[in-house]
Structure 1
Amino acid sequence: MKASEIREMSADELNAKLIDLKAELFNLRFQHAVNQLENPMRIKAVKKDIARVNTLLRERELKDSAN
Structure 2
Amino acid sequence: MKQSEIKQASTAELQEQLAESTKAYTDLKMAHAISPLENPIQLRTQRRSIARIATELTKREVQ
Question: What root-mean-square deviation, in Å, do the aligned CA atoms of Structure 1 and Structure 2 show?
Answer: 0.8
Q: TM-score, normalised by structure 2?
A: 0.95
Runs of 5+ in structure 2 lacking a partner?
none
Structure number with greater CO (CA < 8 Å, separation at least 6) is 2
Q: Which runs of no fewer than 5 residues in structure 1 stay unpaired? A: none
User: 44-53 or 32-41: which moved more?
Assistant: 32-41
For the pair shown, the structure with the greater C-alpha radius of gyration is 1
Whole-Å separation in 2 of the counterparts to 1:19 and 1:58: 15
TM-score, structure 1 normalization: 0.89
Partner of 1:7: 7
Runs of 4+ that moved beyond 4 A: none
Deviation at 1:38, TM superposition (A): 1.7
Alignment of 1:1-67 (within 5 A): 1-63=1-63
**Identical aligned pairs, as a percentage?**
37
